[in-house]
Every structure is written in structure tokens, then in C-alpha cells.
A and B are shown apart, each in its own frame.
Chain A
Amino acid sequence: MTSQALVAAATLIAFALIVTGVAFGSAIGDGLVASKAVEAIARQPEARPNIFTFLFLGVGVLEAFPIIGLGLAFYMLFGIVGLPSGIFASLAGH
């Protein structure tokens, strides 16, 4: 493997790690928010519209972080190895 292919492979692994981390965290957070909302609706069905408001607020605030993480990961990927054609060219070693 050439050193360029090594850099491309390491960057792809780093990209995958970033996306894994943010997806893992936000999935746990989304699950917590949704399960608590279901519990609250089961306990107080009349408060349903109010709970939905704060469910969407929580999910909206929470979803911002994985998306910011994904954006920064793409920034790193494009900055180091370039667009997808460049990535596959680097991995092929030419």
C-alpha cells in the first residue's frame, strides 16, 4: 500500500468512528425522550398535545448534534482525501 492509500484508509476509519459515536449517542437520547413521552402520555392522556410539543423540542435539539458531527466529519473527509472519486482513486493506489 502506498502512503496515500494509508492516509485515505485511516481517514475513512476516522469518519466511520465519528459517525458511529454521534449516531450511538443520539439514538440513546432519542430513545430516552420517546420512552419518557410514551410513559407521560400513558399516565396523563389529557396532556398529550403539551407532551408532543416538548417531545419535538427535545428531538429537534438532540438531532442537531449528530448532524453537526456528520457535517464536521464530511468536512474532514473532503479536506483530506477529496470527493468520492478521489477517495477510491487513493485506495486503489494510483
Chain B
Amino acid sequence: MPFGRVELKEEIGGHSLWTLPVLGAVHADTILTTWLAMAVALVFLAYVGSSYRSPRAGRTQTVFEGVVDYIADLVYGSLGKGGEPFVPFFIALFIFIFLLNQFGILPFKALGLPFGGSPTADLNTTLALGLMMFVTIQVAAIRKGGIGAYKHIFSAPPGAPPALALLMTPINIIDEVARPVTLTLRLFFNIFVGELLLFVIASIINAKITIGAFNLSLAVTVLPLGIEFFNFFVGTVQAFVFTLLAIVYLALSISDDH
């Protein structure tokens, strides 16, 4: 039946599962795609690093020097001289999230491969990233100031009466816990909705809708081009926002003046 309705191959929010001995059921496609992204990043960045010593600065080297300089400037600007150990971490974080966001553009799943789609469109990936930032920030704060790093949570803001600490403590605790949650949900929803929009277009095309003489299914076929550009922009901005907010939260928790 060449012109009949075809079954949609793409699905949204569905994952193939692996059952592992200790971990239980895990999302196989998310894990495979993440490994693929890591392999691509390792090979490509090793190539960039090995070509670094050549006397001629190529286009790739210029682009990567720009990225590295930009993030290093952000870290030094927020954390001062003490931010030096964190510079490689934040560069890696930005490039990793950027790659994970953009991997959804490659149609691996449509080709029948077991991986594909953006790993960041899965709540597990973004929750892991958010929790990693939370733990990093707590460990950095304790290494900097011992248990006294939590003093600002249980004390009133400077200039306020000390009794205000009773009121401020729950607010400060909520503030501290809400940070990884908002980091997680912001990244997840942005990437997930990008894939959801493509899925909606696909199902409108598949439904063969005509309103009078107007063929809606034919008209919406131009939309995915714009949506993919939008997704590329959103993925880049969200990778940047995640990195920058992580830097700001780290600076808030290990800076001297609180």
C-alpha cells in the first residue's frame, strides 16, 4: 500500500530498556548515545590538542581557543584566582552538554540503529548533571571553609537583626536545594520540547489533514527546517546557561564575602 498511512517510527518519551544486575532497568538508547558523544568528543579533542603545537593556527584551533578563553575568562571573573582548578571542568561541561544537545539532530533512530535522539531529552541525564553540580559545589565549599561554609545558611543577612535568621534559614535551605532542580528541569524541558515539536509535525503530516481546499499536512512540511535551526540555537544557549549558572552558584558558595 504505497500511499496508505504509515506507522510512525519516531516516538517521544519512549526508550529501549536494558536490565542490569544491580542497577535495574536503564535506558539503553540514552546510555549508548552518551557513550557515542563521549567517544566523538575524546577523539576530536585529542586531535585538536595534538595539532596544537603546529606553528600554523588553523580554523579549528582558533575556534577552540575562543571557546576555552571565553569560559576561562568567565571562571576567573566570577571565582578570581581560586577558580583555576575548575577551568578544565567547566570547559568539559560546556562541550559535553553542547554535544549531547546537538546529537538529536542526527537521525540514528530513523535508520534503525539502537541509539539516537538527544540524551538530554531524558530526565535521567540532566538529573545526573544537576546532582553532579550540587555535589561539586558542596565539596568545594567544605574544602574551602570546613563546616563553617554553611554558616551563611543559618545566619541573618548582614545589617539585619539576628532574630531574622529563624525566618531566613528555611528560605536559604530551599534556595540551596532548588538550584540543582531548576538546572535539571530547564535543560530537560528545552531539549525535550524541541523533539516534541518535531514529533507533532510528523503526526500532523501522517494524519493527512485537509481543511477544504487547504492541504494542512503538505503545508507543515516546511516547518522542520525552522525547528531544527531553533533547536540548534536553544541547545547552544542552554549548554551555555547551564555552565554559566553552575559557575555563578559555585562562586556564590565559595566566595569570601558572605
Contact = CB atoms under 8 A, between A and B. Distances in A.
Contacts of B204: 84
Interface residues of A, number: 17
B209 A88 contact: yes
B203 A85 contact: yes
A86 B95 CA distance: 41
Given A71-B192, A84-B204, A61 B241 contact: yes
A68 B238 CA distance: 13
A61 B245 CA distance: 9
A39 B26 CA distance: 50
Contacts of A88: 207, 209
B172 interface: no
Contacts of A53: 74, 244
Interface in A35-94: 53, 56-57, 59-61, 63-64, 67-68, 70-71, 74, 83-85, 88
B38 interface: no
Contact of A83 (B203, B241, B245): B203
B155 interface: no
Nearest to B239: A60
Contacts of B234: 63, 67
Nearest to B240: A56
B241 A84 contact: no
Q: What secondary structure prevails in chain B residues at the interface with A?
A: helix
A71 B193 contact: yes
B203 A57 contact: no
Contact of A64 (B190, B200, B206): B190
Main secondary structure, interface of A, reads: helix
B190 A84 contact: no
Contact of A71 (B74, B189, B238, B240): B189
A71 B244 CA distance: 24
Contacts of B241: 56-57, 60-61
B186 to A, nearest CB: 4
Contacts of B190: 63-64, 67
Contacts of B186: 61, 64, 68
Nearest to B248: A57
A84 B209 contact: yes
A57 B74 CA distance: 12
Nearest to B220: A84
B185 interface: yes
Contacts of B237: 56, 59-60, 63
Identify the 5 closest CB pairs spanning chains A and B, nearest first.
A85-B207, A60-B241, A64-B186, A71-B193, A68-B189
Interface of A: 53, 56-57, 59-61, 63-64, 67-68, 70-71, 74, 83-85, 88
Given A74-B196, A88-B209, 18 more contacts: A57-B241, A57-B245, A59-B237, A60-B240, A61-B186, A61-B245, A63-B190, A63-B234, A63-B237, A64-B185, A67-B190, A67-B234, A71-B193, A84-B200, A84-B204, A85-B207, A85-B209, A88-B207
15 contacts: A53-B244, A56-B237, A56-B240, A56-B241, A60-B237, A60-B240, A63-B190, A68-B189, A71-B189, A71-B192, A71-B196, A74-B196, A84-B200, A84-B209, A88-B207
